[in-house]
Structure 1
Amino acid sequence: MDPVNDPPTMSIIGQVVTDEDAPKLNIPVTISDLETSSDRLTISVTSENPTLVPLQNIAITEKLATRYLSITPAADQNGDTQIRLEVSDPEGLTALQTFLFQVNSVNDRPTAVGQTHHIRINVPLNDQLEAYDIDGDNLIYDISAHPEIGTITLVNTSTGEFIYQPFIEKYGQDAFQFVVSDGDKTSLDATVEIIIQDNIPPEITLKGLNPDYILQGDLFYDFGYTAFDNADGNLNDRVETIGSVDTDIVGTYHITYRVKDFSGNVAQKIREVSVLHSYGQLQGIVENIPTIADPVKDIAVQLLDPVSEHLLRETSLDKTGRFSFVYLPYQTYILHLDISDHNNVPPVYLPKTVDQLFLFQSNNQEIHVSIPELTEMKESYKLTVSLDGDYKDYDNYEYRIIDYRSGQTVLKGSGNSPQFTERLEADMSYRLLILADCYSPFEYENDHGDPYIEIKQDKEVKARLTDDTGFHLDDVQVDVSHTLFDTDNHKGFHLWFVRKKL
């Protein structure tokens, strides 16, 4: 009688249960065959749900009669799948079985995600922390470590909204850490790195006169410069000088001083040197000086360029009210008087400026200028201007306050904070102009479209600036012209601000 090949057999595996992310190791299954030794039997396995249990996550030992299965569920997966085992002998006869593999759901620890932010010096960061939970639970955020050169405020613990405020003038790298919780488990710490960029350019200060004047044929001496950076300190040795002066040839020369700090911020100053055939001395006297405790201290005398209004020369009065400028080129100037009470706290009178355009054309020419009546502080009110819109703290700006009736500039000032205050004569109307790099020029109008501010009491107004990257203070001059409206007899003049490229 011919022998009959019998199929192999295997032991039964019952339901297997494990937890999410927990492998089940060494599940035994015994295989045998009457005609074939166990080391010649082969065993294969499949998973009906490869998302839960990928095939590569199932391992089987070889050759022994008792084989061992190790099954690892995919990360963060739970549910059921059927595992199918098949044993075959060399003749192709098989034995089959399936068993249920069950993975129980387990609450996973949420994950906090680190971030990196770049911000400008002195500018706060308002953003949102990042985290996720595979189980979709609601999360609660908490700060676990605070920064060193700034403060962190968690605005909303449910959304992770935060405000980081760097300390004033601090720059470099800072960081804080946070965690999230789903109410059961808490994440590991995540780090938020803050890189505070030093975007403040260095300051170059020119020694000597600027502009400078020299007679044809004389020796020109460059008095030099100093260069200082808020972050890097003294940068004198990094200054590049471009340009020269030929004193044999009459003309205007420019020497450029340029420096770059270690953060890449660039600054430059230009010295203007005029080689002249001749120059002279200007004599001046200030008349009608009001009752001022110390006119020598309270009255500054300046010469301004008539186009750019940049400061050219500065001096002070003597006790008789006289002043002089020597080695002065023959040209047109603005004589500018800046009158402020430096002797009393609080001041007795309002600051005042006086401008007079004149042509200097002869040696020892004399100019006379009068000071109008000063306004006592008690006859004034405060004007407070708040900048908003696109304006960013610490951006520099200039402002002018102009008499609405005469068109004369009453006050000029500058600032880099979102608010400034000036005192103005009572019962008057004024125009307000604000100019700043990378912002559109601002001319005040009230809610009714009136282009003036009436000062009858302390007043607060808002100036809404808008971004304009193409506008730069150095590229413009401001002409204040005025036209009398037929219907504006009560208020006087209507002012126009005309911006012209130089």
Structure 2
Amino acid sequence: MLKRNLPKQSLYCFIIAVLLVPIMIFTPFLPTTTVSAVEAGEFVKAKQIAAGGRVSLALKTDGTFAAWGADYYGQTNIPAGLSGVVDIAVGSYHSLALKSDGTVVAWGGYAGADWGQTDVPADLTDVIAIDTYGSHSLALKSNGTVVGWGNNDWGQINPPSGLTDVVAIATAGTHSLALRSNGTVVAWGNNNYGQTNVPTDLTDVVAIAAGSNHSLALKSDGTVVGWGYNYFGQINPPSGLTDVVAVTAGSYFSLALKSDGTVVGWGMNQNGQIRIPFGLQGVVAIDTAGDHTLALKSDGTVVAWGWNDDGQTEVPGGLLQSLEMTGPDGNKIPFVFDSDQYAYTIAIDSDITSVEVRGVPEEAGYADIYINGIKQTSEQGTVVPIIGQTAHISVEHAPYLLANQMYNINVVREADKTDLISLIEQAQDRLETTVEGNSPGQYPSSARTALSQEIIAMEALVSDRLALEADVEQGLVDLQGALDTYNLSVVLDQERPVITLLGANPMRIEAGSSFTDPGAVAQDAQDGDLTDSITVTGSVYTDQIADYSLEYKVSDHAGNTASVVRSVYVKDTNAPVITLRGDSQVSLYEGEAFTDTGATAFDSFEGDLTEEILVSGDVDTDVPGTYTMTYNVQDSSGNVAAEVSRTVTVKSKPSTGGPASSPDQDTTHTLLNASSLRSIELSAGTMSPSFSPWIKKYTVTVDAEVNALRIRPAAYGPSKITVNGETIEEGWSKLIQLGNESSTEITITVNSYDGHTSTYTLAVDKKGEESEPSVNNPFNEAEKPINFADMAGHWAEHDIAEAVKAGFITGFEDKSFRPNQPVTRSQFVTMLVRALDMKGSGNSASYRDVDLIPVWALEATGAALEAGIAGGYPDGSFRPNASITRAEMAVMAARAMNLPIIEDETVIFLDAIEIPFWAKPYVSAAAKQGLINGRGGSTFVPNELMTRAEAAIILLRMRSGGNIS
């Protein structure tokens, strides 16, 4: 419970005067206990709050109380005549009040569980603070000592012998706390959960609070420390919580009041006790008990939340129930009041000189009513004089504990309409004595209609009691003008007006475009320009191919009419446009599968015509040669699109020995699409051949002891990926159980958004005792053979021998080098640091996944991080065991060589579009320096994995400064 984290400011000064305790350093964290917005009794508001088990109390600025919630034990029955109260507290069964003379008054109590919590010691005086929570009470005296009474099953009312210099106290169900002037905390009572085990190093405390089985302390630096029961995290304030000025503790939760007037809660939330009301701010004090909380705002209003079985969070005050207005004769003035409507306009008779206004609050005894700023004290209401034609009346409903509501009433005295009524009669007589027609001396129907409509409008103005004098005067002007216009409308001629079309006639409009009517002008010999009187009938819909007509009509004052028709033809003359999906030039080897990626067709009017495309031509992948596929389409208007074609070259299969001057795979394959895999990550083993989007079958070799393999495939575009028939989300992995089987097959199926399907197969074989060096350390100091069994005739044989001699890479215990095996990020960084003889602190702690970095790679990874070579991923991880791509390798190599980086520089490789934007300038710089070349000489394949052979060669080039050999 909060009580009392620090005494009230007035009591606090009294403590300093009596004890001469130098604790002014705590002043910035003292909670405000008076409401600055409520000055000199302007409104009755709350100035202090207290929360009990099922009860809420508020001490008001007029010295009286407000109580709500349960009253099973009389704890809301305020003793008659109780006054001069400066502090209040509520427990489970009773309530306390501290008077200004230093004495304590108690009431309530539960006959079935009477522990004497209301038996205030007869000689208790000079009290400056009180607190209670469950069934015992505490008082702090001006001499810095503590007195307790009530339930003492756990010794909770017996402060430690010799306890003095106390400046604040707090109680809970069965334990008590005291804050001493030196900023330390003393605790006694029940310690089943360590709630009285004050941390030994706790100092600089400025406020304390006690919950059911936990304790809180607020330090002078605005931070919170907790101890005791922590099943719901009630002693662990949110990370980074500072600027706290007050704390309070409930049953199994805690709250903190910050200096900016906001509240933060943590712990149990079963009854919403830490669900702070949205937008709550301006709080100057908080208190809680059990499972509900009260907050006192700077304007003197109270907010409550949490457990509400007995209405303890239903702050009284309500709304304005009714508002009545009567005249001097005692008759009610027609007026419908709605508490949700805050502005009204009311008409009164012209002879009324005053009105009586009376407001009735919804909850009598919890609110005041103010009429024009004056408090309503009479049940008959307040008399307001009405001077002039209008008057303003304000009615303010001022609940003691809730925000005020202001209602504004404009009273309007009815205007004098005698002259307007007389003019209406003249206009009506004029209509009745004239003849409608188009002959000379007659009056056109349009003129008569206009005058008739003006008469109707003026009659409505006469009936409007809220009309002002100015409205009536303007009505006189308008009606007189209408009457004058009517008199001038007499027919003088019968000559038709002339309409002239603007723009072309007919007009031809492209389908799907916008159409703007050029309009027309009209001229009459008598009336002059009638352009503004032209009416147009007919419509043009540019989204529908058709012939349309627009008719323009106009009439003069004599009723003479003219008309002209414009023809508008909506046609579609634009041909559709065909766009190939993928490349127009596709190359693949004989026997490989070819999937036509198709094309799209769009028409500016009909939209997507992809389904209407006619495809001709075929590709026989078993016969080398050049094939052409053509795509044609036309729209429903017969507009034919320009033909588009794709050339497919089927090449003869390459020899099995592989190219002498390039790594594993030739990347001139069939076009990639969204059904192609971009990568396959494995938790263990080696995959042969190295992954390529075009290779569909692989062998994965794992150690004999591996019983499960986690696989994470990633596609090039939005696709549905299934592993062994089970769908996985993009970026997720699938765990495959291997068991004791020596061979397992894994099938990966990719279905793309455009209907393409690709299937990849992995045959997993368990090997015997043969294994790589410990934790894949490429620098295991086992035997370092130069003549590896699997390097004879390999294109990188000579360079790998040089790299092994240089000491930054070695082979495996089985006398193999495995040149085509992918390299992990940890392995490459370690090889790079050793190859360039880089030094560093070896600190890799800034990576989020530092625990996954192998021990042998920690020092090198730290050195690379310090040198700015390996920055990691945007999520803060390094991903040490992921295979490194050729794009990532180029970035690290360029950074390690400190090569000049030029943004937006053209990349020389044919597949530059596939190089990630963040890697392009580094790939360009590394290629210019002679550190890298492509696979096959013209493509870089940035997303393929780098092999051990490639790593050895790149690092040799870096040691020599470049120079591709």
TM-score of the superposed pair, with normalisation by structure 1? 0.30
Higher RCO, 1 or 2 (CA under 8 Å, sep at least 6)? 1
TM-score of the two chains, using structure 2 as the length reference? 0.17
Higher normalized strand content (fraction of residues): 1
Which has the greater radius of gyration?
Answer: 2
